[in-house]
Amino acid sequence: MKTYGAEFLGTFWLVLGGCGSAVLAAAFPNVGIGLLGVSLAFGLTVLTMAFAIGHISGCHLNPAVSFGLWAGGRFPGKELIPYIVAQVFGGIAAGGILFLIASGKPGFVLSDGFASNGYGAHSPGGYGLPSALICEIVMTAMFLIVILGATDKRAPQGFAPIAIGLCLTLIHLISIPVTNTSVNPARSTGVALYVGDWAVAQLWLFWVAPIFGGILGAILYRLIGREPTEGSGK
C-alpha cells in the first residue's frame, strides 16, 4: 500500500503543480508565468517527486508511463490496475483542491477550461483531432524513450530525475499550443471531471493516445537499447 500511496501523492503533486500553475499563474496580471512557466512547472513536479518517491514506487505518476514500463519489461502487469487507480484518484484529488482555490476568485468559471486538454475548438491553437492524436502519441513515445534510457542500468546513475523532468518540460513547450499537453491520462482526468461537458467528451483521446504512445516508445527503446550479445558488436 505504501507504493500506491506514493503514486497517489506524486500524481496529486503533478496535477496540483502543473495544472495549478496554468490555472492560477499563467496569465496573472503583469507577472504571469506564461507557456514557459507552465512547462517548467510540470517538469519540476516530476523532478521533485522522482527524488522524493522514486525509491518507493518508481514515480510513474502516469498510466501511460506504467503501461510503457510494463511493455518495456520493467514493471509487472499485475500492478498496472492498482497503480493506475492510485494515479487517477491522486489527479482527481488535486483537481478538487485546485477548484477550491481557483473558485475563490471573482469571475472564475469552469467553462474557461480549467487546464483541460482538448482538440478542435478546445485546442489552444485550434488544432484538429488528427494533429492532437499524432502529437500526443509521439510526445508520449519520446517521453518513454527518455525514461527507459535515463533509468537504464548502463546510464549515468543519479541523474534520471533531471533528464525526465527536463524532457517533460520540453514536451510541454512543444505541445501546449496543440492540446494543452496531456501525455498523462491521470492529469487529463483530474481536471476534466470538474469541467464536464466537452472536456469529458474529448477525454477518450487523452487516454488512448498517451497509452498507445507509451507502449510504442517502450517497443522502440527495446529495439535500440537492447544490450549487444557478446562478440557481436551490435
* Residue 156 included in any domain: yes
Determine the residue type at 227.
E
Looking at residue 158, what is its pLDDT?
Answer: 87
Q: What secondary structure letter does DSSP report for 123?
A: S
pLDDT, average across residues 50-73: 95
- CA distance linking residue 138 with residue 125, whole number of Å: 18
Tell me the mean pLDDT in the region 4-19. 96
Q: Is the pLDDT of residue 86 over 60?
A: yes
The rounded distance, in Å, linking the Cα atoms of 43 and 87 is 17
How many structural domains comprise the chain? 1
User: How far is residue 54's CA from residue 186's CA, in Å, rounded to a whole number?
Assistant: 18
The pLDDT, as a whole number, for residue 230 is: 45
Domain that residue 186 falls in? 1-224
Longest dimension (CA), the chain: 69
Residue 1 confidence (pLDDT) = 83
Residue 231 lies in a domain: no
Q: Tens digit of pLDDT for each residue in 175-234?
A: 999 999 999 999 999 999 999 889 999 999 999 999 999 999 999 999 987 765 544 444
pLDDT in tens, 108-165: 888 777 999 999 999 999 999 999 999 999 999 999 999 999 999 988 888 999 999 9
Classify residue 184: in a domain, yes or no: yes
Cell readout for 73 is 519489461
CB 114 within 8 A of CB 23: yes
For the CA atoms of 121, 123, 124, 128, what is the dihedral angle to 10 degrees?
A: -90
Q: Comparing 80 with 107, which gets the higher pLDDT?
A: 80
C-alpha closest to that of 92 among 168, 192, 204, 163 = 192
Q: Residue 232: what pLDDT?
A: 47
- Which residue is it, cell 533528464? 163
| Domain presence at residue 142 | yes
Query: Would you say residue 232 lies in a domain?
Result: no
CATH number of the domain within which 100 lies = 1.20.1080.10
Contacts of residue 212, defined as CB under 8 A and 6 or more positions apart, other chains included, come to 137, 140
More confident residue, 49 or 28: 49
Measured at the CA of 79, the angle between CA 76 and CA 80, to 5 degrees, comes to 95
The separation between CA 35 and the C-alpha centre of its own chain, rounded to angstroms, equals 16
pLDDT, average across residues 25-50: 88
Count of H helices and E strands in the chain? 9, 0
| Domain assignment of residue 132, yes or no | yes
In a domain, 165, yes or no: yes
